[in-house]
């Protein structure tokens, strides 16, 4: 998929690398290209480069072309994503986009003149949630769980695998994934590119609010899985879901459990006592390192 969107000279360079080790490509207009390849490196003509002088520089036109191709040559069809600063490719590769924001009466219309892109390549790490799984359910069912981790620490990978484990293990439970950025399942034409379980229902590319309200009405889920809680409306929608007796598994950005508790926004959420388990991931031993699991009473159930 990368081949379809990147300029030829970049693809020639990536041919020197093992694509399955590649996590991220950072492209900035007229600046050296950086790749995350088990560490931070410059991307040169023949794979990794030693210095910024040897690195490939991307032009503004090339950035525009990459976004155009990532949007399947149809910007209008991906404008809702663009407005939120990203485009997701068919296989779950997410391109974060910076550029000039076009607004009209305070509402964002689109982004133009792209200045930098962050291409993130998703990983499917099978069974990565197995260590945590026994702590996340009991004989009465699943606990409402919040996965806490800093960016790039494997939150999405974790809940993807957790969804698959829960879906395959608890067949009697209906599991609904609300995949706002289409990163969890990478659904295209009704088919998932990344495994999220045989019995999972997926709302892709829709807001959490819409997914929760309509999902409860129409799909009668027992468990709802969603990524990246970020604002008040997400929490309100979540509160409605829990009020309907639905179990929720969500993720959020935070360095650790203590930092989460210090955020005013989450302090309210913690007061609501929605979540019964907190899974903390970090980059300590590579992305997806399970640091600890807390319960709602601040008791540490698991510690690395």
Among residues 257, 270, 278, 296, the alpha carbon closest in space to that of 132 is found at 278
Given the rule CB under 8 A, which of 44-52, 72-80, 224-232, 291-299 is the region that contacts another protein?
72-80
Closest CB to another protein among 83 and 255? Answer: 83
Rounded Cα–Cα distance for residues 260 and 28 (Å): 31
75 binds another protein (CB under 8 A): yes
- CA 52 to each of CA 17, 49, 98, 257: distance values in angstroms, whole numbers, following the listed order: 18, 7, 22, 37
Task: Give CA–CA dist 19/2, Å, rounded.
Answer: 10
- Cβ–Cβ < 8 Å for 116, 26: yes
DSSP 18: -
Judged by CB, which is closer to another protein: 112, or 126? 112
Q: Is the dihedral of CA 219, 296, 304, 285 positive or negative?
A: positive
Site mask, another protein, residues 218-247, x = CB under 8 A? ------------------------------
Other beta carbons within 10 angstroms of residue 131's beta carbon come to 13
Tokens describing residue 284: 């300590």
Cβ–Cβ < 8 Å for 120, 24: yes
Tell me if 77 contacts another protein by CB under 8 A.
yes
Tokens of 44: 């040169």
Task: Give the shortest CB-153-to-another protein separation in angstroms.
Answer: 33
* Closest by CA position to 6, among listed 46, 65, 85: 65
In whole angstroms, the minimum distance from the beta carbon of 152 to another protein comes to 30
Which residues from 37-66 bind another protein, rule CB under 8 A?
A: 65
**209 touches another protein (CB under 8 A):** no
| φ, ψ for residue 88, nearest 5 deg | -110, 130
Work out whether 191 is an interface residue with another protein (CB under 8 A). no
Q: Minimum Å distance from CB 114 to another protein? A: 12
Q: Which is nearer to another protein, 65 or 124 (CB)?
A: 65
Least distance (Å) between residue 134 CB and another protein: 44
Q: Does 69 bind another protein (CB under 8 A)?
A: yes
Helix %, strand %, coil % of the chain (to 5): 30, 35, 35
- Least Å distance between CB 83 and another protein? 8
| Residue count, binding to another protein (CB under 8 A) | 14
Note whether 105 binds another protein by CB under 8 A: no
Q: Please report how close the Cβ of residue 69 comes to another protein at its closest, in angstroms.
A: 6
Min dist CB 6 to another protein, Å, is 12
Rule CB under 8 A: choose which of 68, 170, 195, 302 binds another protein. Answer: 68
Question: To the nearest whole angstrom, how small is the minimum distance from the Cβ of residue 139 to another protein?
Answer: 46
> Cα separations (Å) of 242 from 74, 144, 177, 215, 245?
38, 8, 15, 13, 5
130 makes contact with another protein (CB under 8 A): no
Q: Is 74 in the site for another protein (CB under 8 A)?
A: yes
Kindly state whether residue 206 participates in binding another protein, applying the rule CB under 8 A: no
**Tokens 């590579």 — which residue?**
286
Quick check: 110 binds another protein (CB under 8 A)? yes
């Amino acid at each position: 998929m990368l081949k379809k969107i990147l300029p030829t000279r970049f693809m020639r360079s990536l041919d020197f690398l093992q694509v399955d080790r590649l996590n991220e490509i950072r492209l900035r207009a007229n600046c050296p290209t950086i790749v995350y390849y088990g560490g931070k490196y410059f991307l040169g003509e023949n794979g990794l480069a030693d210095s910024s002088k040897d690195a490939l520089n991307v032009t503004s036109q090339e950035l525009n072309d990459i976004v155009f191709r990532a949007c399947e040559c149809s910007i209008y069809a991906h404008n809702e994503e663009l407005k939120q600063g990203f485009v997701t490719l068919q296989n779950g590769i997410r391109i974060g986009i910076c550029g000039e924001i076009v607004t009209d009466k305070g509402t964002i219309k689109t982004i133009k003149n792209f200045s930098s892109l962050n291409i993130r390549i998703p990983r499917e790490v099978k069974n990565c949630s197995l260590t945590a799984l026994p702590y996340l359910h009991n004989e009465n069912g699943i606990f409402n769980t919040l996965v806490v981790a800093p960016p790039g620490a494997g939150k999405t990978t974790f809940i993807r695998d957790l969804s698959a484990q829960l879906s395959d293990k608890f067949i009697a439970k209906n599991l609904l994934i609300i995949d706002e950025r289409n990163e969890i399942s990478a659904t295209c034409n009704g088919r998932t590119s990344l495994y999220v379980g045989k019995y999972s229902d997926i709302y892709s590319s829709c807001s959490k609010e819409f997914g929760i309200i309509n999902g409860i009405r129409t799909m009668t889920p027992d468990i709802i899985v969603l990524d990246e809680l970020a604002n008040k409306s997400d929490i309100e929608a979540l509160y409605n879901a829990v009020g309907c007796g639905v179990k929720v598994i969500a993720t959020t950005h935070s360095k650790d459990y203590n930092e989460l508790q210090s955020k005013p926004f989450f302090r309210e959420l913690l007061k609501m006592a929605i979540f019964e388990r907190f899974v903390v991931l970090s980059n300590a031993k590579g992305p997806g390192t399970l640091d600890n699991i807390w319960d709602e009473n601040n008791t540490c159930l698991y510690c690395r």
